[in-house]
Amino acid sequence: MNPSPAASLRLEAKGIAKHYGHLTALQAVDLCIDPGDFIVVLGRNGAGKTTLLRLLATIIHPSEGSLWFDGTPLAQCPASLKSRFGFVGHESFLYDELTVRENLLFYARLYGLADGARAVATQLEALELSARAGDLVRNLSRGLRQRVAIARALLHQPSLLLLDEPATGLDAPSRERLHDLLRRLHREGRTILFSSHDVAQGLALATRVVLLERGRIAFDGRNTPEAQAAVAAQLGSGGV
Amino acid sequence: MATVAATGWSALGRVSFAIAAKDFLSERRTKEVFNAMLVFGFMVAVIFSFAFEPTSEEAQRIAGGLVWLVFIFAGILGLNRSFARETLNECLQGLRLGPVGPGAIYLGKLLSNFAFMFVAELILLPFFGMFFDVHFWREPAWMIAILVLGTWGFTALGTIFSAVSANTRMRELMLPLLLLPLSVPLLIAAVQATTTVLRGLPMSDASLWIKLLIGFDVMFTTLAWLVFEPVLEQ
């Protein structure tokens, strides 16, 4: 069981756009993430899901528009704001030549956790990784790496968890375990936003759906049967 | 956040040292930087000692240039690995998620690059002394100061260019192309100051070169610090 997360965080994206040279990855995106939301971002390959998540995680900056955290623009937020959200990307952000424990301890130091060793032990136990704590990351399977990446993102008890296609490359049992974990984290009070190109699985988990098409939000609403029908009609009910 | 320590200068120091300590641990396990630097340095020392058979006076004149030539190319071998390590599994993005500015990442990488190169220099220097029959430790305090200033300036500049070249296709070629031209003033100053030590001249003769080293270090450390965020963003 994870300890309680940090105070809830409200995140607003106002008119954000991201351009890479002549390529526009996102444009005119308005999105408000309220505490307690469990959001799936759906869209075809190249729709802008990864760019959106990286912008929300402040890894990249928008070309236009702004991000607001609890009513404060990002530019005026202290650096410590980053302690309030966790991000799991396509890649694990883990060092292959270090063990699971060494990786997590390093990130605990990065976040300045007062008792890093205890935080690491807690996450290892919560994600059933204790037995593999001494293994080098390079020797782990994709599923185990993903669990370590989630442990890394949860170390500092963020209230908002951003996950970019976390189920990609996982086999069915690992995917099911991941979904159970996300449900549990949401029940514990975390706000969760994850992207997925698997419509059926995304809709089975989330309480709110955001559909991206060519860098724009095509749909944003509660996960109701009507919303599911509309999204399925646009993307197809399986993967895209 | 009760669990998160105070930010500011203490956070900068904490994160920088955490990144440097992580690099030391990685290096202890893989030995990829040290092995490359030491083998290269030792090979060059052996080859030069066979290629030249200088008199004692000639050796004192050329040994300063030779050692810095070796240090610079050995240093490039190490710098090439510095950010390559961070690109695997996109670890650099993980560092950027931390609650500190990009300056802490730059400083952490600079600390580890400096330490790797400086330790390699301390190991290689006795071999050069032995092969060329010169005394690098005639003025130990000055020699250490020259090594520290020269190495800091080179790694301050090399760290930023290592980040620039890390995501390019021809990383190994790109880094020396970017780094060497800008390092020329630093190299000239380091070679001249080292030669002053080797020839047993009064260190006042090297004061201009020492000042140039200090100026180079301050200028390029500050510049690199300031431009590191847009470099990461790219």
Instruction: Return the pLDDT at B6.
Output: 45
Q: pTM, whole model, 2 decimals?
A: 0.87
A86 CB neighbours in chain B (<8 A) are: 97
Q: How far is B234 from chain A (nearest CA, A)?
A: 9
Longest dimension (CA), chain A: 50
Q: Looking at residues B206-222, what average pLDDT do you find?
A: 95
B13 at the A interface (CB within 8 A)? no
Return the higher-pLDDT residue of B98 and B1: B98
Q: What is the DSSP letter of B139?
A: S
What is the structure's pLDDT at A63? 92
Residue B215 has what pLDDT? Answer: 97
Residue A171 C-alpha, separation from nearest chain B C-alpha, in angstroms: 20
Helices (H) and strands (E) in chain B, counts: 9, 0
Instruction: Find chain A residues with C-beta within 8 A of B2's C-beta.
Output: 114
In A, which residues are within 8 Å of B88 by CB distance?
95-96
How many contacts (CB atoms, under 8 Å) link A and B? 98
pLDDT at A28 over 50: yes
Q: Is 70 exceeded by the pLDDT of residue A2?
A: no
Residue-averaged pLDDT of chain B = 89
Could you tell me which chain A residue has the CA closest to the CA of B90?
A93
Task: Identify the pLDDT of residue B79.
Answer: 93
CB contact under 8 A, A57 and B89: no
Which of B99, B91, B94 is CA-nearest to residue B11? Answer: B99
Test B4 with A112 for CB contact under 8 angstroms. yes
**Which residues of A fall within a CB distance of 8 Å from B90?**
89-91, 93
Q: How far apart are CA B81 and CA B74, in angstroms?
A: 12
What pLDDT does A3 receive?
56
Of B179, B188, B191, B190, nearest to B224 by C-alpha is B179
User: Which residues, numbered 53 to 92 in chain B, qualify as contacts with chain A under a Cβ-Cβ cut-off of 8 Å?
Assistant: 85, 88-91
pLDDT band at B2, cuts 50/70/90? very low
Does residue B14 belong to the interface with chain A, where contact is any CB pair within 8 Å? yes
Average pLDDT over residues B68-80: 94
At which residue do the structure tokens 């030391």 appear? Answer: B24
Pick from A238, A229, A163, A227: which is nearest to A197 by CA?
A238
pLDDT band for B63, please (50, 70, 90 cuts): confident
pLDDT per residue as tens digits for the range A60-76: 889 999 999 888 888 77
Per-residue pLDDT, A5:
59
DSSP letter at B4 equals B
Q: Could you tell me the CA-to-CA distances from B112 to A18, B35, B85 in Å, in that order?
A: 34, 16, 12
Higher pLDDT, B173 or A80: B173
- Mean pLDDT over A4-10 rounds to 68
Contact A139, B126 (CB under 8 A): no
A239 pLDDT band, cuts 50/70/90, is: very low
pLDDT, average across residues B67-81: 93
Residues in chain A closer than 8 A to B4 (CB atoms) = 80, 83, 111-114, 156
- Residues B134-167: tens digit of each pLDDT: 888 888 999 999 999 999 999 999 999 999 988 7
With bands split at pLDDT 50, 70 and 90, how would you rate the model's confidence at B132? confident
Q: Which residues contact residue A156 at a Cβ distance below 8 angstroms, ignoring those fewer than 6 apart?
A: A6, A83, A86, A108, A111, A113, A119, B1, B3, B4
Q: Which of A59, A95, A112 sits opposite B96 (nearest CB)?
A: A59
ipTM, two decimals: 0.86
The partner residue sitting opposite A94, judged by closest CB among B7, B14, B89, is: B89
pLDDT at B59: 77
Express each pLDDT in B165-197 by its tens digit: 887 878 788 899 999 999 999 999 999 999 999
Give the residue from A50, A106, A144 with the most B CB atoms within 10 Å of its CB, the best one to mutate: A106
Question: Tell me, what's the pLDDT at B7?
Answer: 53
For residue B130, the SS3 value is helix
Digit-coded pLDDT (tens) for A129-169 = 999 999 999 999 988 999 999 999 999 999 999 999 988 87
Closest-CA residue of A relative to B100 is: A79
**Distance, in angstroms, between B57 CA and closest chain A CA?**
48
pLDDT band at A237 (very low <50, low <70, confident <90, very high): low
B11 touching A (Cβ < 8 Å) = yes
Residue A153's nearest CA partner among A218, A86, A96 is A86
Please answer yes or no on whether A79 and B5 come within 8 Å at the CB atom: no
Look up residue A190 and give its amino acid.
R
